[in-house]
Amino acid sequence: MDSDDEAMSATTSDDGFGMEEDSMSFGEGSVGEIDMDEPDIGFDTQEKDFRPAKKAYEVDFTVYSPSDIQAQQDRQIEDVSNIIGQPHESTAILLRYSRWNKERLIESYMDRQEELLDKAGLGRDISGPPKIKKVNGFMCDICCEDRPGLETFAMKCNHRFCVSCYRRYLVQKIQDEGEAARIKCPGDSCDKIVDSKTLDLLVTADLRDRYHELLMRTYVDDKENLKWCPAPNCIYAVDCPVKARDLGKIVPTVKCECGYQFCFGCALSDHQPAACSLVKKWMKKCEDDSETANWISANTKECPKCVSTIEKNGGCNHMTCRKCRHEFCWMCMGVWSEHGTSWYNCNRYEEKSGSDARDAQAKSRQSLERYLHYYNRYANHEQSAKLDKDIFLKTEKKMTQLQSSSGMSWIEVQFLDAASQALQQCRQTLKWTYAFAYYLARNNQTEIFEDNQKDLEMAVENLSEMFEKPTDQIAGLKVEMMDKTAYCNKRRVILLDDTAVNLKQGNWAFNVEMS
């Protein structure tokens, strides 16, 4: 095992929490394979021997529910609280201040306790818990209310305000400003942080829930190994040990409990085999060039004879294909010789041929054509990927029809669902192989990649075609479709594994900086 493998498979045990028993964990990145409880440090070597060999493109990850994450936080607060002897609510503030780096927190607590407490917004006074109380002759400095019997509150910093002002201040911070971890005392120039005990004392249950939700957001945002699933309305977070610095060597693809497959590095939808930095460059390029690309499609046509792209140059309609020298009319795409000499402009066009201007244009044209070659294929698979949802819905419908017309059971028609899913996933991969290929410089690895790409593409188009067959024929194609589905999946794995192994080993040459 090389050092990269070590880094990729590091467990999260240094965070002080193992896995919750009720948490879903998909070791090796494949669904349905339950990774048993992560053993404590020192026992995992033995465990690893029983795992199936991991593919180069797979990473370890775990999916956590909000309650798992809450439990993780609570456990860390508990641990640290026991060590430093501060109450839970203060320990929580200290941990948030140290961005959940337990070791660093304990170290600086031991070395510079007072400075740390000040900076974290805690103060040094560890007197009893703050209480709501009535103070004789009190006037609230916020609302100027001074009636006797007014309920007031202050944290240890002793900035006292009436309870209703204190409460309204907290509502404003939490509800309107979305603040939670860094809410300061309302006192003028006071930096003391409002702790959860204070909050529990003053606000309604609704607001308390919102507060803890916001704290959880900050917790996940603060931890490099945690990310929220980017799918809309999804409540899960994913834990993955791959670090930002590893992203040139691996494309860490994870699958959430909700089914969404995304890149842990950049949170975009699964973009294997292209590394995050290439994806970023590619999307920028597509955006920048979309106008050019539109112009091209409006101003170019394909030669009716050899199908290479022809650009309309000036007003002349007498076109000559650069490649096969076929002469045709831009307007009707018909053979030019049939037009006689009625388009007098054509002579001028001929005169200009061979000029430097046209050479330069041909060059820029060439690089554009290269881009368009990859872009069109990328966009085509993207388009098909968008149709995936329709295909899936159609599949479901077909499955029901098939069940009633063929007398097949639900379990027997599952092959259609499997085929549909394979199509979706393979198209997603194919799409990104074209972005990957655009930045790839030729070397002795490229040919294998291109063969893999071609094989996968053919397999996908084959399966896709069968999928479109009328329902009454589909039942008879079951075995063949299952074979093709398995073949597609196999080709995808081969392609991903090959690209990932070479990425890890630094065997690819790219025509851009990989940063």
Partner 1 sequence: MANKRIMKEYAEVTNNPPAGCKISLENEGDMNLWNVVMDAPSDSIYAGGHFKIVIKLPKEYPFKPPVLNFKTKLYHPNVTNDENGSMCLGMLRPDEWKPPNKIADVLKLVRTVLAAPQPDDAVEQGIADQYKNDRKAFEKTAKDWVSKYAK
> Catalytic residue positions?
316
Q: Which does 168 bind (CB under 5 to 8 A by kind): partner 1, Zn ion, none?
A: partner 1
The CA distance from 152 to 147, in Å, is 11
Q: Which of 71, 150, 163, 190 is the binder for partner 1 (CB under 8 A)?
A: 190
Our CB check for partner 1 shows the closer of 139 and 441 to be 139
Minimum distance from CB of 286 to partner 1 (Å)?
33
Q: Which of 140, 203, 319, 459 is the binder for Zn ion (CB under 5 A)?
A: 140
Of 326, 269, 272, 274, nearest to 302 by C-alpha is 326
* Segment interacting with partner 1, rule: CB under 8 A, options 128-136, 186-194, 447-455, 475-483: 186-194
Q: Which of 164, 175, 489, 502 is the binder for partner 1 (CB under 8 A)?
A: 164
* Segment interacting with Zn ion, rule: CB under 5 A, options 48-56, 98-106, 236-244, 361-369: 236-244
Please, is 193 exposed, middle or buried when counting C-beta atoms within 10 Å of its C-beta (0-12, 13-18, 19+)? buried
Task: Tell whether residue 79 is a contact of partner 1 (CB under 8 A).
Answer: no
Q: Which of 266, 274, 416, 475 is the binder for Zn ion (CB under 5 A)?
A: 266
Minimum distance from CB of 46 to partner 1 (Å)?
52
Q: Which of 56, 116, 165, 310 is the binder for partner 1 (CB under 8 A)?
A: 165
Q: Which does 189 bind (CB under 5 to 8 A by kind): Zn ion, partner 1, none?
A: partner 1
388's CB contacts (< 8 A; 6+ apart) are 420, 423, 424, 427
First to last CA, the chain: 26
Task: Tell whether residue 335 is a contact of Zn ion (CB under 5 A).
Answer: no
Task: Tell whether residue 66 is a contact of Zn ion (CB under 5 A).
Answer: no
Q: Which does 144 bind (CB under 5 to 8 A by kind): Zn ion, partner 1, none?
A: partner 1
Of 421, 422, 430, 451, nearest to 381 by C-alpha is 430
Q: Which of 75, 326, 365, 478 is the binder for Zn ion (CB under 5 A)?
A: 326
* Segment interacting with partner 1, rule: CB under 8 A, options 91-99, 123-131, 165-173, 428-436: 165-173
Per the CB < 8 A criterion, the answer to whether 102 and 16 are in contact is yes
Number of residues that bind partner 1 (CB under 8 A): 18
Task: Tell whether residue 357 is a contact of partner 1 (CB under 8 A).
Answer: no
Task: Tell whether residue 148 is a contact of partner 1 (CB under 8 A).
Answer: no
Task: Tell whether residue 141 is a contact of partner 1 (CB under 8 A).
Answer: yes
Query: Reduced to 3 states, what is the DSSP secondary structure of residue 458?
Result: helix
Query: Reduced to 3 states, what is the DSSP secondary structure of residue 177?
Result: coil
Task: Tell whether residue 167 is a contact of partner 1 (CB under 8 A).
Answer: no
Task: Tell whether residue 188 is a contact of partner 1 (CB under 8 A).
Answer: yes
Q: Which of 15, 145, 222, 369 is the binder for partner 1 (CB under 8 A)?
A: 145
Greatest pairwise CA separation for the chain in angstroms: 108
Per the CB < 8 A criterion, the answer to whether 51 and 27 are in contact is yes
Q: Are strands 161-162 and 151-153 parallel, antiparallel or unpaired?
A: antiparallel
10's CB contacts (< 8 A; 6+ apart) are 241
Both structure tokens of 140: 């609230």
Both structure tokens of 364: 């820029």
* Segment interacting with Zn ion, rule: CB under 5 A, options 24-32, 108-116, 138-146, 292-300: 138-146
Check the CA dihedral 63-67-71-72 and report its sign: positive
Query: Reduced to 3 states, what is the DSSP secondary structure of residue 510?
Result: strand
Minimum distance from CB of 154 to partner 1 (Å)?
12
435's CB contacts (< 8 A; 6+ apart) are 271, 274, 278, 279, 282, 374, 378
Our CB check for partner 1 shows the closer of 84 and 150 to be 150
Alpha carbon 496 to chain centroid distance?
18
Q: Which does 172 bind (CB under 5 to 8 A by kind): partner 1, Zn ion, none?
A: partner 1
Tell me the HSE value of 206 on the side-chain side, using a 13 A CA sphere: 2
CA torsion 408-410-411-412 (nearest 10°) is: 20
Q: Which one-letter DSSP state was computed for residue 183?
A: P
14's CB contacts (< 8 A; 6+ apart) are 41
Minimum distance from CB of 77 to partner 1 (Å)?
26
Contacting positions for partner 1 (CB under 8 A):
141-145, 161, 164-165, 168-169, 172, 177, 184, 186-190
Contacting positions for Zn ion (CB under 5 A):
140, 142-143, 157, 159, 162, 165, 185, 187, 190, 192, 229, 231, 234, 236, 256, 258, 260, 263, 265-266, 276, 303, 305-306, 321, 323-324, 326, 329, 331-332, 334
